[in-house]
Amino acid sequence: MGRVVTPRAEDFPRWYQDVIAKAQLADNGPVRGTMVIRPTGYALWERMQAELDARIKATGAQNAYFPLFIPESYLTREAEHVEGFSPELAVVTHGGGKKLAEPVVVRPTSETIIGESMAKWIGSYRDLPMLLNQWANVVRWELRPRIFLRTSEFLWQEGHTAHADAADARAYARRILHEVYEDFMVNVLAIPVVVGRKTARERFAGATDTYPLEAMMGDGKALQMGTSHELGQNFARAFDITYSDSAKGVSHAWTTSWGVTTRMIGGVIMVHGDDDGLRIPPLLAPVQAYVMVVKDGEGVLPAAATLRDALRDAGVRVALDDRVDTAFGRRAVDAELKGYPVRVEVGPRDLAQGTVTLVRRVDGSKTPVAVDAVVDAVVRALAEDQQALYAQALKARTDRTVEVATLGEALEAAATGWARVPWAAVGAAGEAEANNQGVTVRCLVRPDGAVPDSEDEPDLVAILSRAY
């Protein structure tokens, strides 16, 4: 097969752009930093939404929708917060054909507008916990955009919750972290993630505790795949979110926020993709089995349609490609690029012998399979290849992660992968020095891999890396 995309080893960023273009995932939009998510890419997002939404609702959260436009004054209410965003804001100054009395901001997050509503909706302890989630677009002006990873507009899910006490807020923020995000990323996206704690320097403005999920990309860099935050009472104080309780009187609530974005699509590409294009984990794939008519011939089309129906009846997400007026080789390259987990190639010669060819994207293997054994073979291949992709990603991460003892060694290791180093050997001063060299502390974890309650715990391990 000819070279369709730039090899990863030659130029990883170029490879990434090639895959996005050739697999028809997305285009640049006409306004700098915006993106058009094409049907092939958007189908990935829809599958992510469905899997995440079910998990989010299982925690008791309800979806709602808050306005795109936020009064500028809301963003100055919590000064610490606005400093993190103000250069990134898109500001609407004209509406209804005239200049607005007060400019409005296109939401960079809905935190303030949701806080304002919570303050109104919450009266007594009976209203707590209040667990809200929103699927929406947000805008943060981006000067160095990269599709899916950093775009001026992106799609996300943002959860905002209020609780009666710190323990309940912490338990919920961690439930989202593990039961929603980690479970989804590991079991659906087949991406190993390190779940840890951000340092004070890397923490979200206004949060008391930020828990990220970090994944290693195919070039050894880290991508933050999602975060869950405890905001303590900071946010509730700024927005006056209080509740009454006959025993305690009136108290400020404890809040959390948590989100994942379309950047996860970039993560899937950069973790699983190879030099032939995408490889989509079967549990994520909008099309799990791609039934291809190799060329027309006695009974080929009906046989392919029958296989499509049998696979669909077995619960497999399946598509039929019967475009026999387009060269098979071209269609096969396109199927590789798009990363369908398995292909079932139905041709007249094989069919005359009662077989079809099963092609597995994970390793490129091609196996003849008897027609009446196809459904079982596909179902088995999908289950195996979901595991295989996870195992490969985990091995790649392990191979590029080194345990070191000093900051100097860590910075050296971060040139090609991740360094695990005692946090005591880095500290705030070492972190600043690392940052100057383009390396960040991705997160802190306990020696056993668990999430720390504080960065002052003894024996914490810091993960240092370059990052997207």
Interaction site with its own copies (CB under 8 A): 27, 29-31, 34-39, 42-43, 45-46, 62-71, 74, 86-97, 103-104, 106, 113, 116-117, 120, 126, 132, 136-137, 139, 141, 143, 152-153, 155, 323, 325-326
Contact between 259 and Zn ion by CB under 5 A: the answer reads no
Piece in contact with Zn ion (CB under 5 A), picked from 126-134, 164-172, 202-210, 429-437: 202-210
Between residues 92 and 171, which has the closer beta carbon with respect to its own copies?
92
Is residue 379 helix, strand or coil?
A: helix
Contact 4, 337 (CB under 8 A): yes
Contact between 203 and Zn ion by CB under 5 A: the answer reads no
Judged by beta carbon distances under 5 to 8 A according to partner kind, the member of its own copies, Zn ion, none in contact with residue 344 is none
Judged by beta carbon distances under 5 to 8 A according to partner kind, the member of its own copies, Zn ion, none in contact with residue 152 is its own copies
Put the strands of the sheet holding 366-370 in their side by side order: 318-321, 289-293, 342-346, 355-360, 366-370
Tell me the C-alpha distance between 331 and 326, whole Å: 7
Identity at 396, one-letter amino acid code: A
Minimal CB distance to Zn ion: which residue?
A: 206
Nearest 10 degrees: Cα torsion 160, 162, 166, 171: -60
Between residues 31 and 429, which has the closer beta carbon with respect to its own copies?
31
Judged by beta carbon distances under 5 to 8 A according to partner kind, the member of Zn ion, its own copies, none in contact with residue 206 is Zn ion
Number of residues this chain uses to bind Zn ion (CB under 5 A): 2
Between residues 132 and 382, which has the closer beta carbon with respect to Zn ion?
132
Between residues 269 and 371, which has the closer beta carbon with respect to its own copies?
269
Least Å from the CB of residue 175 to its own copies: 19
Is residue 54 helix, strand or coil?
A: helix
Least Å from the CB of residue 36 to its own copies: 5
Contact 131, 258 (CB under 8 A): no
- DSSP secondary structure string, 156-196? EEEEEEEESSHHHHHHHHHHIIIIIIIHHHHHTS----EE-
∠ at Cα 77 (76, 78), nearest 5°? 95
* DSSP H or E segment with residue 40: helix 39-58
Judged by beta carbon distances under 5 to 8 A according to partner kind, the member of its own copies, Zn ion, none in contact with residue 81 is Zn ion
Handedness of CA 222, 27, 228, 450 (dihedral sign): negative
Between residues 137 and 437, which has the closer beta carbon with respect to its own copies?
137
Least Å from the CB of residue 115 to Zn ion: 8
Tell me the C-alpha distance between 345 and 276, whole Å: 18
Piece in contact with Zn ion (CB under 5 A), picked from 44-52, 203-211, 296-304, 446-454: 203-211
Least Å from the CB of residue 144 to its own copies: 11
Give, as ranges, the residues between 171 and 200 that touch Zn ion (CB under 5 A): none
Spell 340-366 as b/e; 16+ CB within 10 A means b. bbbbbbbbeebbeeebbbbbbbbeeee
Between residues 137 and 367, which has the closer beta carbon with respect to its own copies?
137
Judged by beta carbon distances under 5 to 8 A according to partner kind, the member of Zn ion, its own copies, none in contact with residue 77 is none
Contact between 206 and Zn ion by CB under 5 A: the answer reads yes
Residue 152 tokens, joined: 């001026």
Between residues 239 and 340, which has the closer beta carbon with respect to Zn ion?
239
Least Å from the CB of residue 90 to its own copies: 5
Least Å from the CB of residue 68 to its own copies: 5
The Cβ-side half-sphere exposure at 48, using a 13 Å CA radius, reads 27
The 8-class DSSP code of residue 204 comes to: P
Q: Which of 16, 43, 81, 209 binds Zn ion (CB under 5 A)?
A: 81
For 89, phi and psi rounded to 5 degrees? Answer: -80, 140
Q: Name which of 324, 129, 321 is nearest 241 in CA terms.
A: 129
Between residues 340 and 418, which has the closer beta carbon with respect to its own copies?
340
Tell me the C-alpha distance between 98 and 11, whole Å: 49
Piece in contact with Zn ion (CB under 5 A), picked from 38-46, 73-81, 327-335, 435-443: 73-81
Judged by beta carbon distances under 5 to 8 A according to partner kind, the member of Zn ion, its own copies, none in contact with residue 281 is none
Contacting positions for Zn ion (CB under 5 A): 81, 206
